A and B are shown apart, each in its own frame.
Chain A
Amino acid sequence: MSGFQHDVEAAIPALRRYARALTRDGDIADDLVQDTLVRALRSQHLFYGGDVRSWLYTIMTNLNRNRLRSLSRRPALMSMDDNDAADMAGPESGARDIERALATLADEQRSALLLVVLEGLSYREVADVQGVPIGTVMSRLARARAQVKAFLDGERPALRRIK
């Protein structure tokens, strides 16, 4: 296995985590990861060094954008799953609330917030991944945080989960 492939492999757990948070569906997330890996391996010759992980996030961001575009031809469905208890961590209601709060965000805002707080990317790296200036990243981040706060502050007491 080449060094490049090793770097790609090492990034998979983080890619799955990010994809899962971004798409809110385990199966769609792994499809997205697989497409990202195939694309990355195929375009290895286009990778000019630097951080493999950022590059993978970039590919995934673009693929996800295409996916959403093809879905938008259908009536918009907002998935609001909260019954996947298997990978639910932490206090149950907090986990569900934050998931629902993230679901209300515009896609680029959710992506910016997750890349910063979950994946630990710098503003500069997020700007590269999203292909926008840093100022745009910061305003997406600010809007995402304001929306999450508004959603959680206005939240009713959590409903019982139906299993």
Chain B
Amino acid sequence: MADRDRAVSDDELHAFVDGELPADRRKVVEAWLATHPDDAARVASWRAHAEMIRLRYGGLARNPVPPRLDVERLARADRKWTWLAAAAAVCAFFVGGAVGWFGRGVLVNIPPPAEQTVTAEALDAHKLYISEVRHPIEVPAEANHLIPWLSRRVGSTLTAPDLGSFGLRLMGGRLLPGHSGRPAALFMYESASGERYTLYCARSPSPETALHYNVAGQVAGVYWGDGEVGFVISGPAERERLMKIAQTAYEQLDRRTSRRSSL
């Protein structure tokens, strides 16, 4: 690629693929590609990848636009807000001063989306407690009050899914401070070889979602929300296994099906 008398540069190859070359250079590049199979192969692969991108995402532009993106509505809402904003700015000046004074030391944080927050907390808790040798859990699985206690504190009926089909045994659980200090529950599972997985449950007004896999270094978490509680299964970053475990836990925790089957 570094040959001295190279007639066609890499930049020109890209410009060729993207239709940015003037006609005379295009002919030169075409002739060049006919005699340089390596470059021809690269150009072909760039085109194939562009086609994959268009296949994957191109169709999304044909999806119906949701009402919340309606331009007229957004413009109307914005006009209404303009004078409210002016009034609010005046208020904010005074209120802000007061809050700044009375709330000094308190950080004002705009929370990131529920999934990001809950997943990050879950992974923090996971990393902290899986390495704990003597006290990885607070209440052992054998204690009858484990589930009722955590359910009451989190404010939602929880169950610890049975992950025995993956060779995972429930060790027990603990209570944790979740987002803005609200209680969250952590269940810990262990395999015969000492591998640990955790299930984090935090009340969070999150929409129902599918399973989302997130990696943070050596560990990963699979998040889903059921509308009321955000769940995260964390463990070693092995995607396929973790997704299977999460799928099993998800099915057992799915309130709608459990309610239906109990009828």
Instruction: Identify the A interface with B (CB < 8 A).
Output: 1, 5, 8-9, 12-14, 16-17, 20-21, 25, 27-28, 30-31, 33-34, 37-38, 41-42, 70-71, 74-84, 87-91, 94-95, 97-99, 101-102, 113-114, 116-118, 122-123, 138, 141-142, 145, 148-149, 152, 159-160, 162-163
Q: Distance (Å) between the CB of B212 and the closest chain A CB?
A: 5
User: Across the interface, do B214 and A77 meet the contact criterion of CB distance under 8 Å?
Assistant: yes
User: Across the interface, do A17 and B213 meet the contact criterion of CB distance under 8 Å?
Assistant: no
Q: Report the nearest B residue to A38, measured CB to CB.
A: B74
CA distance A70 to B211 in the complex (A): 24
CA distance A30 to B207 in the complex (A): 14
B78 interface hit (Cβ, 8 Å): yes
CA distance A38 to B55 in the complex (A): 30
A122-B20, A141-B14 are contacts. A21–B66 as well, Cβ < 8 Å? no
Q: Distance (Å) between the CB of A139 and the closest chain B CB?
A: 9
Q: Which residues of B contact A91 (CB under 8 A)?
A: 55
Q: Report the nearest A residue to B123, measured CB to CB.
A: A75
Q: Report the nearest A residue to B64, measured CB to CB.
A: A13
User: Across the interface, do B243 and A41 meet the contact criterion of CB distance under 8 Å?
Assistant: no
CA distance A79 to B210 in the complex (A): 13
Q: Distance (Å) between the CB of B55 and the closest chain A CB?
A: 3
User: Across the interface, do A117 and B113 meet the contact criterion of CB distance under 8 Å?
Assistant: no
A41-B78, A87-B60 are contacts. A77–B116 as well, Cβ < 8 Å? yes
Contact of B74 (CB < 8 Å), options: A14, A34, A145: A34
Instruction: Identify the B interface with A (CB < 8 A).
Output: 10-11, 14-15, 18, 20, 42, 45-46, 49-50, 52-63, 65-66, 68-69, 71-72, 74-75, 78, 110, 112-113, 116-117, 119-120, 123-124, 207, 210-216, 239-240, 243-244, 247
Contact of A138 (CB < 8 Å), options: B11, B54, B65, B74: B11
User: Can you list the 6 inter-chain pairs with the closest CB atoms, starting with the nearest?
Assistant: A90-B55, A13-B61, A117-B50, A98-B52, A17-B61, A89-B59
Q: Which residues of B contact A89 (CB under 8 A)?
A: 55-59
A80-B214, A123-B20, A142-B10 are contacts. A159–B240 as well, Cβ < 8 Å? yes
Most buried by A among B46, B71, B113, B212: B71
Contact of A5 (CB < 8 Å), options: B53, B57, B72, B117: B72
Contact of B56 (CB < 8 Å), options: A12, A70, A99: A99
Q: Report the nearest A residue to B124, measured CB to CB.
A: A75
User: Across the interface, do A16 and B61 meet the contact criterion of CB distance under 8 Å?
Assistant: yes
